[in-house]
């Protein structure tokens, strides 16, 4: 059996509430999982945020997406999505072009190079997911996904 959160973080006093324990557990778990994901993506030269954007743009297909739409779909808010997209464009993973209808808008599309990078990452990332949470039963994973959805409901 794994250590309790209190033991893991070296806290000797009880939590002030069950809600505190749950929120700290989510934060601690998220931080540990994020660190593992950062390390798993390092060989590909992308951050989790960049990977997320590339996946979003792959899903958008040829039509691409405007910056505000990319920002809305991201898992984690970032302060400057435009700069993030510019860095991906400099790396040749995306292209940014003025919208033909609304010249004020810029549409971002994933490039063949970006698609190739994601394609080379698909199996290793799936393996990483299985390594990180695959020890849990499918029913427990479904319940956890549902509970996390419920936790975000009021946010």
Note the pLDDT tens digit of each residue in 94-144. Answer: 999 987 778 788 999 999 999 999 999 999 999 999 999 999 999 999 999
Residues pairing with 110 in the sheet: 94
92 inside domain = yes
Rounded CA gap, 144 and 125, in Å?
A: 20
Question: The sheet that has 94-98: what strands, in order across it?
Answer: 65-66, 106-110, 94-98
86 inside domain = yes
18 inside domain = no
Q: Which residues of 108-132 are buried (b: 16+ CB within 10 A; e: fewer)?
A: bbbbeebeebbeebeeebeebeeee
Predicted confidence (pLDDT) at residue 1 exceeds the cutoff of 50:
no
39 inside domain = no
Pair 117, 93: CB distance under 8 Å:
yes
Range of the domain at 50: 45-152
Rounded CA gap, 110 and 59, in Å?
A: 9
77 inside domain = yes
List CB contacts of 44: < 8 A, sequence separation 6 or more.
51, 117, 120, 121
Predicted confidence (pLDDT) at residue 25 exceeds the cutoff of 50:
yes
132 inside domain = yes
Half-sphere exposure of 8 (CA within 13 A, CB side): 12
Predicted confidence band at 2 (pLDDT cuts at 50, 70, 90)?
A: low
- Report pLDDT for 103: 78
pTM of the predicted protein model: 0.90
CATH of the domain at 103: 1.10.10.10
64 inside domain = yes
Domains in the chain, number: 1
Pair 77, 38: CB distance under 8 Å:
no
């Amino acid at each position: 059996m794994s250590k309790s959160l209190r033991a893991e973080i070296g806290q000797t006093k009880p939590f002030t509430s069950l809600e505190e324990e749950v929120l700290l557990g989510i934060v601690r778990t998220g931080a540990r999982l994020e660190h593992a994901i950062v390390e798993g993506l390092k060989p590909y030269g992308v951050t989790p945020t960049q990977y997320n954007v590339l996946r979003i743009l792959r899903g958008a297909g040829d039509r691409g997406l405007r910056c505000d739409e990319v920002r809305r779909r991201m898992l984690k808010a970032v302060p400057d999505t435009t700069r993030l997209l510019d860095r991906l464009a400099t790396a040749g993973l995306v292209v940014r072009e003025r919208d033909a209808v609304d010249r004020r808008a810029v549409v971002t599309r994933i490039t063949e190079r970006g698609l190739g990078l994601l394609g080379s990452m698909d199996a290793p990332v799936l393996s990483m997911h299985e390594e990180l949470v695959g020890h849990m039963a499918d029913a427990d994973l479904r319940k956890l996904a549902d509970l996390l959805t419920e936790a975000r409901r009021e946010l």
